Amino acid sequence: MELSPLARERLARIGALSEEERERLKQSEDLDSLLSEYFSGELDTDGLWKRLKGLKQQRGESVPREVQARLVDTLRLRMGQEDFEQRRDAILAIETMKAEGKYSTLEVALDSIEAVRNKYLQAKQQAYEQLKAGLQSQLQAAAQQAKAQGMEIDMGGSLDANARNSPQWKDFISQHEESSEEMFGSYIGRLRDAI
């Protein structure tokens, strides 16, 4: 079956990227590379800021917002404190290069996100310790019976294993993570809107 000239022209256009599309792809690759250097520790926050300032001058005002949005996309409820602070520092530093910066708004949003993260971790740890305390007397009784039969039980390991595999822990974690993720997502949305 032979294609019409119009169909052949459309197929040719599909395969070729426009100049604007090529420029966006190049910018995306440059920003991916820059953030990769930042996340791997090759660049500190000041170095990231300086390199972004140059890219902003070359490519325009959208660069800071795009990088901030990418940084926000990497925020997680269960990420380490150091990783969170690295992203926080970068988001706030980048905000200083915007003409209509909303530094204090972003700072408040990031503080709220950090508070949700801390509350999540504290509640999780507290519930785990309470569950372990409740299981400890049961496990001690079992350990005494085992010792009477000539067996030794690793109390610490057994206590952790029993706590982590208990239905109460699984129910708590399921509900706690769901509610915390929902609240975390809400604050992330507010942060995105502020950017």
User: Distance between CA atoms of 148 and 159, rounded to whole angstroms?
Assistant: 19
Distance of CA 119 to the CA centre of its chain: 16
CB atoms within 10 A of CB 160: 14
> What pLDDT was estimated at residue 147?
66
CA distances from 118 to 56, 90, 103, 134 (A): 34, 20, 22, 24
Residue 142 has pLDDT above 70, yes or no: no
> What pLDDT was estimated at residue 108?
96
pTM above 0.85, yes or no: no
pLDDT tens-digit map of 58-93: 888 889 999 999 999 999 999 999 999 999 999 999
SS3 label, residue 127? helix
User: Distance between CA atoms of 98 and 185, rounded to whole angstroms?
Assistant: 25
What average pLDDT does this structure show over 134-151? 70
